[in-house]
């Protein structure tokens, strides 16, 4: 595998980063952000949607805070998992990501903005050419989706991040910044259903940090991840649940790796009146995984019942 | 002088550090034979000298022909592999580490189609690209090759057709990788796409355009590459069985998953000879194929085997990319390096065949195994590779360790438009073994007996013959079963564990070297040759062609030479990398190296020993029979004060002659039957193994976690127990991958969906159970110091042990490997529906109440144990052939005493009507019988 050539920019402040992004946009140049690189670099080596410019956030200071109420975009997953400063649920989720080597590099921002995955897409260039490409990376051929041919233009690649559902159930807010200024949204409004656009980030914008509500320390919960191996593997399905200690009525549930977005299931929880089995069934009904990860969708869909049940266990 | 040889300046006299380790750069022994700081040699290590020659090493299996060559130096001792330092310090040079001046980079143009005719290849644009130094296509290498002489169906690059996605079409060499990749994209190939075949069952059907054409031997117009029919014994015995098992199994293909991707460097030197650096398991076959394809004599090719970063069978074919590198190098006049991406490793594959295996097994009223019926359809992918042999192994390697009333096997290997399957650790034996061992478990349940006792009461003894005519010599199967039963506390666990926890047993049987060298008559030319040379310095240089692929063959050779000559292993230098200097060795496959190469090395070392002792005889006046060779000193047996140093004796022996040299060779004894295919599965010895596995099954998700394995393997004699344990644990890991998670997934469109190590799921350290390796030493009469193989056999039992343990845990047998959680979950869901259960926690767990057969089996096993011990020690040397258990006379041909006892290699017309899936390949005629086939 040969890394395609690109120009690496290394700003040392947020402002500098935004200015670089603005000037690249202005000159019509495409670029990617890079944080830990554990998602982007493998994709680049496979020549997937490579760009001529890459802006690294690694030299920016002050964006790797880890505290109960705030985590910076460059906080390493290893530090979130082992540092003892983050919320226990977030630490638990971070400790289940990939492998220890990858966690040393991988960051919060990178994990939340993880590219969506699909076995028709996460392949070497030669391989993708043998299937005549797919619409997530069509190399100018205008080709169709390989998972569900002849559908509309929506990409159904699966979002397989571990942290997002956990932050969602803790009501995290993401703080974005870009050439047009800063803005904040709740994490569960951050993602977009199309596996190509993935989220609401606009050109030049990047995720600066996440914040958690003031009372988050009073909340507890757990995360269940389905995977074949206890290391390396992305979740084939994942369920996070959280509730305020001593108050099960506050239960929130979110899932990941079932669709092109992680999703919080407020409606399903509300409709079930606190009955965990009913929550499981409602989520089962509302989720429709497709065949693009290692395990078959029917199984993953059924497993969400088990995972949600287990995540809700006190 | 003190402290031994100094290899670095400075430093004090101490040669060991405070922590007891050796100071880097200093030998831990004194100058050999010269006295030095330790004028006294170390005492003989009687614990490692056999009882029969005056030592203390116990010999439960009796004496061995090599006992007199034992000096207590290294054999049987835990010995660090001699190449360990190179590997752990990063100094080992693997294929991609070879850097020659002015080397350029080669890349391969691969087919994007499953199956297509190559109409034209236009290389003109690529050739014009600055930096491109050579371009080659199929026209540059029209000669075909293949690892087996009977199936040479490969070309360096496509000459007419491409047969799978990733098949080679052309290649380029350029000044760097980026230029080479760009050049690849500039090569324009015009294809005519053909109808491809992906389902191996379709391979049995007649088609317009078979993937290969075998002329008059082609079976109809199908894609059947090889078909096998074998039947032995009295088929009437399977009528009215007391218990029977019928299992239809599906096994997904698996890849070796070695760490080092293929890499090759080719260079035509100043004299116009090809120097080819490649991580090959079988350099000799690559050597032959290169000469054929390049149209040069073999002596104009020097194959240099680099360190091999894992082989497992996946680096034993001569490969087209090796030819490509040589062709590009010849054209460009520059050294050319080609290194694969992981996708390319999967495209060249040669992994275990995807298989459909149907097994029917029968037991009679005395719980004897009255018959095995095996039908194996195996998916060969686009090329033959080792498939001819695999087709046999899927059946014939199931004929032991049990005594059978009859054996019936039909096998077929078909071509499909996938990367080629080939040889992989446990070649051909693994899948059928799994099905058969699970069948035994199932039958033991029907018979209400313990599956271990069922096995113990049906074993072939040492020094016997299988139903197919294989010659069994040493046999440690019984001890293996007994030791794992004891170690795992089996009797308190089997069928007694709670739902979700299970324990299971599986056995294995494997060849220790294939009996016949495929390229020549075994009676005329040896399997392995070893040269030894000792010059004035006293160091021993050993030349061997045996390929160390991580299994430790270099260490094994160094050990046996050190043992015979009683020298520290540091004085033995093994040179095994170059075909220019190494005598021909057939390579590292079929678990043959330790058995054959170490035997050859012992012979060469004995010759050297004789020369040195004769010199000592001259000097000391005592006959060699009364001289003892020990740690760099030779002395008179009855008065150790009379003696001389090794170096003195050596110099005496070198007078007038210079360096001592000796050559030793190994040839297998004549053996085997005369039926078609009789040679397949023949080996000078066989290994046996028994594993018990314990699993936890998550009954809600179907996830299986293997927690503990007790792994007993009969390797004859552990030359290096540490290496044997490493092989056992490594085999467990590899087999566990196949049974739990590894699979090559071909999707809806026939593309390999997971050609990378994230989605091809090799178990991680978290999935590894606690493995307790148990070494059984049955002391093989023909093995080097009694040794047999330990590289492949230990893989076999883990699969059935896990499948049987899963049944013990949840009462469900899944006959579709790997047992991924979705399959297990689906099976649980199906069972719950069948039983009308809502909660998986209510699943019934299998329990066992013994029938009266159990005590009969225990008694029979006890009798057999006595019999086996006597046979093992040669106290009982009566003939024993498969069939004695059924009351037949081993001294009269079975055909003469049993009506209906047959040995056939073709189905009768009546049998044609009732053949299994693979057997239907026999419904077609060969072209020569149809008047066609040109």
Please give the C-alpha separations between residue B687 and each of A207, B253, B715, in angstroms, as whole numbers.
60, 25, 6
Q: What's the pLDDT tens digit per position in B705-724?
A: 999 999 999 999 999 999 99
Name the residue among B165, B820, B825 with its Cβ closest to that of A228: B820
Asked whether B549 and B588 are in contact (CB, 8 A), the reply is yes
Question: Which residue segment(s) compose the domain that A254 sits in?
Answer: 1-314
- Say how far apart CA B25 and CA B38 lie, in whole Å: 19
Ranges of H-type helices in B685-820: 721-740, 798-810
Find which of A294, A302, A311 to mutate to test the B interface (most B CBs within 10 Å of its CB): A294
Give the chain A residue whose CA is nearest to the CA of B698: A306
On whether any CB of chain A is under 8 Å from the CB of B839, the answer is no
Query: Which residues in chain B have their CB less than 8 angstroms from residue A131's CB?
Result: 749, 751
ipTM entry: 0.97
- How far does the CA of residue B779 sit from the closest CA of chain A (Å)? 40
Ordered DSSP codes for B821-863: HHHHHHHHHHHHHHHT-SSGGG---------THHHHHHHHHHH
Mean pLDDT score of chain B, rounded to an integer? 93
Contact B178 A129 (CB under 8 A): no
Contact A2 B177 (CB under 8 A): yes
Q: What is the dihedral of CA A296, A299, A302, A307, to 10 degrees?
A: -100
- Say how far apart CA B316 and CA B456 lie, in whole Å: 36
Q: What's the pLDDT tens digit per position in B390-439?
A: 999 999 999 999 999 999 999 999 999 999 999 999 999 999 999 999 99
The separation between the first and the last C-alpha atoms of chain A, rounded to the nearest angstrom, is 47
Q: What's the pLDDT tens digit per position in B309-337?
A: 999 999 999 999 999 999 999 999 999 99
Q: What's the pLDDT tens digit per position in B128-139?
A: 999 999 999 999
* Residue carrying structure tokens 């020298």: B567
Q: Summarize the confidence of residues B565-570 as an average pLDDT.
A: 92
For B538, the token pair is: 């006293």
SS3 B737: helix
Say whether pTM exceeds 0.90: yes
Contact B341 A131 (CB under 8 A): no
- Say how far apart CA A124 and CA A47 lie, in whole Å: 7
- How far does the CA of residue A1 sit from the closest CA of chain B (Å)? 6
The structural domains of chain B, ordered by start, are: 448-516+674-901 (3.30.365.10), 528-666 (3.30.365.10)
Please give the C-alpha separations between residue B780 and each of B463, B474, B882, in angstroms, as whole numbers.
10, 5, 20
Neighbouring-strand partners of residue B472: B464
pLDDT of residue B441: 98
Q: What's the pLDDT tens digit per position in B782-839?
A: 999 999 999 999 999 999 999 999 999 999 999 999 999 999 999 999 999 999 999 9
pLDDT band at B1 (very low <50, low <70, confident <90, very high): very low
Q: What is the dihedral of CA B639, B642, B648, B650, to 10 degrees?
A: -40
Name the residue among B111, B178, B753 with its Cβ closest to that of A2: B178
Please say if the pLDDT value at position A234 is more than 50: yes
Contact B763 A226 (CB under 8 A): no
Contact B761 A2 (CB under 8 A): no
Contact A127 B751 (CB under 8 A): yes
Q: In residues, how long is chain B?
A: 934
Q: Summarize the confidence of residues B914-925 as an average pLDDT.
A: 93
The separation between the first and the last C-alpha atoms of chain B, rounded to the nearest angstrom, is 78
| Structure letter (DSSP) for residue B283 | H
Q: Taking an 8 Å Cβ-Cβ cutoff, which residues of chain A contact chain B?
A: 1-2, 5, 99, 119, 123-124, 126-127, 129-131, 146, 226, 228-234, 294-296, 298-299, 302-303, 306
Mean pLDDT score of chain A, rounded to an integer? 96
Query: Which residues in chain B have their CB less than 8 angstroms from residue A233's CB?
Result: 758, 761
Distance of CA B323 to the CA centre of its chain: 25
Residue A201, sorted as left (phi over 0), alpha (psi -120 to 50) or beta, turns out to be beta
On whether any CB of chain A is under 8 Å from the CB of B826, the answer is yes
On whether any CB of chain A is under 8 Å from the CB of B139, the answer is no
pLDDT of residue B516: 79
On whether any CB of chain A is under 8 Å from the CB of B535, the answer is no
Q: Summarize the confidence of residues B903-928 as an average pLDDT.
A: 91
Q: Summarize the confidence of residues B562-590 as an average pLDDT.
A: 93
CA atoms within 13 A on the CB side of B244: 14
Comparing C-alpha atoms, which of A286, A271, A274 is closest to residue A241? Answer: A274
Please say if the pLDDT value at position B777 is more than 50: yes
Strand A53-56 versus strand A31-34 pairing type: parallel
Residue B57, sorted as left (phi over 0), alpha (psi -120 to 50) or beta, turns out to be beta
Please say if the pLDDT value at position B887 is more than 70: yes
Give the chain B residue whose CA is nearest to the CA of A231: B764
pLDDT band at B195 (very low <50, low <70, confident <90, very high): very high
Contact A228 B741 (CB under 8 A): yes
Comparing C-alpha atoms, which of B599, B592, B522 is closest to residue B66? Answer: B599
pLDDT of residue B40: 63
Q: In residues, how long is chain A?
A: 314
Give the chain B residue whose CA is nearest to the CA of A121: B753
Asked whether A36 and A107 are in contact (CB, 8 A), the reply is yes
Contact B821 A295 (CB under 8 A): yes
Name the residue among A2, A119, A228 with its Cβ closest to that of B753: A119
Asked whether B300 and B309 are in contact (CB, 8 A), the reply is no
Asked whether B883 and B890 are in contact (CB, 8 A), the reply is yes
Chain A to chain B, count of Cβ pairs less than 8 Å apart?
76
Q: What's the pLDDT tens digit per position in B471-508?
A: 999 999 999 999 999 999 999 999 999 999 999 999 99
Asked whether B560 and B785 are in contact (CB, 8 A), the reply is yes
On whether any CB of chain A is under 8 Å from the CB of B113, the answer is yes
- Say how far apart CA B622 and CA B627 lie, in whole Å: 7
Chain B, window 326-385: residues with a beta carbon less than 8 angstroms from a chain A beta carbon: 341, 343
- Say how far apart CA B311 and CA B316 lie, in whole Å: 8
Give the chain A residue whose CA is nearest to the CA of B340: A1
Name the residue among B111, B113, B820 with its Cβ closest to that of A295: B820
Please say if the pLDDT value at position A295 is more than 90: yes
Q: Largest alpha-carbon pair distance within chain A?
A: 56
> Domain tally for chain A?
1
Chain B, window 159-218: residues with a beta carbon less than 8 angstroms from a chain A beta carbon: 165-166, 177-178, 181
Query: Which residues in chain B have their CB less than 8 angstroms from residue A229's CB?
Result: 741, 761, 763-764, 766-767
- The CATH number of the domain holding residue A128 is 3.30.465.10
Peptide bond into B818 cis (omega under 30): yes
Q: What's the pLDDT tens digit per position in B664-691?
A: 999 988 887 778 888 889 999 999 999 9
Neighbouring-strand partners of residue B635: B628, B643
- Say how far apart CA A175 and CA B844 lie, in whole Å: 53
SS3 A178: strand
- How far does the CA of residue A222 sit from the closest CA of chain B (Å)? 18
What secondary structure, in 3-state letters, does A200-265 show? Answer: CCCCCCEEEEEECCHHHHHEEEEEEEECCCCCCCCCCEEEEEEEECCEEEEEEEEEECCCCCCEEC
- How far does the CA of residue B184 sit from the closest CA of chain A (Å)? 11
Contact B761 A228 (CB under 8 A): yes
Task: For residue B99, report the phi and psi dihedrals to the nearest 5 degrees.
Answer: -120, 110
Contact B343 A119 (CB under 8 A): no
């Amino acid at each position: 595998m040969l890394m395609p050539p690109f120009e690496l920019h290394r700003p040392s402040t947020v402002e500098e980063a935004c200015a670089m992004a603005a000037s690249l946009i202005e000159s019509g140049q495409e670029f990617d952000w890079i944080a830990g690189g554990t998602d982007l670099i493998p994709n680049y080596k496979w020549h997937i949607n490579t760009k001529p410019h890459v802006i690294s956030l690694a030299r920016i200071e002050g964006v790797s805070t880890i505290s109960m109420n705030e985590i910076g975009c460059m906080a390493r997953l290893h530090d979130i998992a082992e540092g003892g400063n983050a919320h226990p649920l977030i630490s638990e989720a971070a400790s289940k990501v990939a492998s220890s080597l990858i966690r040393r590099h991988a960051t919060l921002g990178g994990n939340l903005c993880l590219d969506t995955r699909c076995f028709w897409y996460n392949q070497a260039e030669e391989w993708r050419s043998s299937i005549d490409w797919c619409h997530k990376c069509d190399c100018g051929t205008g080709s169709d989706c390989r998972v569900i041919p002849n559908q509309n233009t929506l990409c159904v690649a699966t979002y397989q991040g571990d942290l997002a559902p956990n932050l969602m159930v803790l009501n995290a807010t993401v703080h974005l910044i870009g050439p047009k200024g800063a803005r904040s949204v709740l994490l569960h409004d951050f993602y977009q259903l199309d596996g190509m656009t993935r989220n609401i980030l606009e050109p030049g914008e990047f995720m600066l940090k996440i914040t958690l509500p003031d009372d988050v320390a009073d909340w507890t919960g757990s995360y269940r991840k389905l995977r074949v191996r206890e290391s390396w593997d992305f979740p084939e399905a994942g369920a996070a649940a959280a509730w305020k200690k001593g108050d099960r009525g506050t239960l929130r549930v979110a899932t990941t790796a079932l669709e092109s977005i992680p999703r919080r299931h407020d409606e399903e929880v509300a409709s079930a009146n606190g009955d965990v089995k009913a929550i499981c069934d409602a989520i089962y009904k509302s989720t429709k995984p497709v065949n693009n990860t290692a395990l078959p969708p029917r199984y993953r869909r059924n497993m969400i019942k088990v995972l949600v049940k287990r995540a809700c266990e006190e | 002088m003190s402290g031994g040889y100094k290899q670095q300046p400075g430093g004090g006299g101490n040669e060991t550090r405070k922590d007891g380790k050796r100071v880097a750069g200093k030998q831990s022994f004194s100058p050999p034979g010269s006295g030095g700081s330790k004028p006294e040699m170390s005492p003989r290590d009687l614990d490692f000298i056999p009882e029969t020659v005056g030592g203390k090493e116990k010999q439960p299996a009796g004496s061995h022909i090599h006992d007199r060559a034992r000096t207590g130096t290294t054999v049987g001792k835990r010995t660090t592999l001699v190449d360990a330092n190179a590997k752990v310090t990063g100094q080992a040079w693997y294929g991609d580490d070879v850097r020659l001046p002015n080397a350029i980079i080669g890349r391969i143009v691969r087919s994007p189609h499953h199956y297509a005719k190559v109409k034209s290849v236009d290389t003109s644009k690529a050739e014009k690209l600055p930096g491109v130094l050579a371009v080659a296509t199929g026209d540059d290498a029209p000669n075909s090759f293949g690892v087996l002489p009977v199936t040479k169906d490969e070309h360096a690059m496509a000459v007419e057709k491409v047969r799978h996605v990733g098949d080679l079409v052309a290649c380029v060499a350029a000044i760097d990788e980026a230029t080479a990749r760009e050049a690849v994209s500039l090569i324009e190939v015009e294809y005519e796409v053909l109808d491809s075949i992906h389902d191996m069952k379709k391979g049995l059907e007649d088609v317009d355009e078979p993937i290969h054409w075998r002329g008059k031997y082609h079976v109809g117009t199908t894609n059947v590459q090889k078909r096998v029919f074998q039947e032995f014994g009295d088929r009437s015995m399977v009528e009215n069985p007391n218990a029977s098992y019928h299992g239809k199994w599906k096994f997904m293909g698996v890849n070796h998953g070695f760490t080092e991707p293929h890499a090759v460097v080719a260079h035509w030197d100043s004299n116009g000879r090809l120097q080819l650096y490649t991580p090959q398991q079988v350099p000799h076959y690559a050597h032959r194929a290169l000469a054929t394809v390049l149209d040069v004599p073999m002596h104009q090719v020097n194959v240099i085997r680099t360190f091999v970063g894992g082989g497992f069978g996946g680096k034993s074919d001569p490969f087209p990319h090796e030819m490509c590198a040589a062709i590009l190098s010849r054209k460009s006049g520059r050294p050319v390096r080609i290194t694969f991406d992981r996708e390319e490793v999967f495209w060249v594959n040669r992994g275990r065949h995807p298989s459909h295996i149907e097994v029917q097994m029968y037991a009679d009223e005395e719980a004897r195994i009255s018959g095995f019926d095996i039908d194996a359809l195996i998916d060969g992918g686009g090329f033959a590779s080792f498939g001819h042999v695999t087709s046999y192994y899927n059946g014939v390697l199931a004929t032991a360790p049990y005594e059978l009333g009859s054996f019936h096997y039909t096998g077929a290997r078909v071509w499909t438009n996938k990367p080629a399957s080939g040889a992989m650790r446990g070649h051909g034996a693994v899948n059928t073994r799994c099905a058969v061992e699970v069948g035994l478990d199932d039958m033991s349940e029907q018979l209400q007996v313990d599956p271990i006792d069922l096995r113990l009461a049906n074993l072939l003894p040492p020094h016997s013959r299988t139903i197919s005519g294989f010659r069994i010599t040493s046999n440690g199967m019984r001890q293996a079963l007994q030791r794992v039963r004891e170690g795992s506390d089996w009797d308190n666990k089997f069928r007694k564990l709670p739902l979700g926890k299970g324990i299971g047993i599986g056995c294995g049987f494997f060849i220790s070297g294939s009996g016949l060298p495929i390229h020549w008559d075994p009676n005329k030319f040896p399997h392995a040759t070893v040269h030894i040379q000792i010059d004035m310095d006293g160091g021993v240089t050993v030349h061997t062609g045996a390929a160390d692929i991580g299994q430790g063959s270099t260490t094994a050779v160094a050990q046996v030479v050190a043992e015979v000559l009683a020298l520290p292993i540091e004085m033995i230098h093994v040179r095994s990398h170059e075909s220019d200097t190494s005598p021909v060795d057939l390579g590292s496959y079929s678990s043959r190296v330790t058995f054959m190469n170490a035997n050859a090395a012992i012979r060469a070392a004995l010759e050297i020993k004789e020369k040195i002792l004769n010199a000592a005889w001259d000097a000391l006046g005592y006959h060699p029979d009364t001289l003892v060779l020990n740690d760099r000193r030779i002395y008179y047996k009855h008065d150790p004060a009379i003696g001389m140093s090794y170096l003195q004796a050596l110099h005496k022996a070198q007078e007038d002659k210079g360096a001592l040299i000796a050559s030793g060779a190994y040839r297998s004894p004549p053996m085997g039957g005369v039926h078609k295919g009789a040679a397949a599965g023949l080996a000078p010895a066989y290994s046996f193994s028994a594993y018990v596995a314990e699993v936890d099954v998550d009954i809600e998700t179907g996830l299986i976690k293997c927690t503990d394995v007790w792994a007993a393997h009969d390797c004859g004699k552990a030359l290096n127990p540490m290496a044997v344990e490493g092989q056992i644990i490594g085999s467990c890991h590899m087999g566990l991958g196949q049974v739990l998670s590894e699979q090559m997934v071909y999707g809806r469109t026939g593309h390999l969906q997971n050609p990378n190590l994230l989605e091809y799921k090799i178990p991680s350290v978290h999935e590894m159970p606690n493995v307790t390796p148990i070494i059984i030493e049955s002391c093989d009469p023909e093995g080097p110091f009694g040794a047999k193989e330990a590289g492949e056999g230990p893989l076999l039992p883990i699969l059935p042990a896990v499948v049987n343990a899963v049944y013990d845990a949840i009462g469900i047998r899944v006959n579709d490997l790997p047992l991924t959680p979705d399959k297990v979950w689906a099976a649980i869901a199906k069972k719950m529906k069948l039983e009308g259960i809502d909660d998986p926690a209510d699943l019934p767990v299998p329990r066992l109440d013994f029938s009266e057969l159990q005590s009969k089996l225990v008694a029979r096993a006890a009798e057999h144990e006595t019999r086996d011990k006597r046979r093992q020690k040669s106290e009982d040397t009566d003939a024993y052939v498969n069939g004695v258990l059924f009351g037949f006379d081993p001294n009269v041909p079975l055909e003469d005493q049993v009506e209906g006892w047959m040995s056939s290699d073709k189905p009768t017309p009546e049998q044609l009507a009732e053949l299994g899936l693979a057997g239907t390949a026999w419904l077609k005629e060969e072209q020569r019988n149809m008047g066609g086939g040109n």
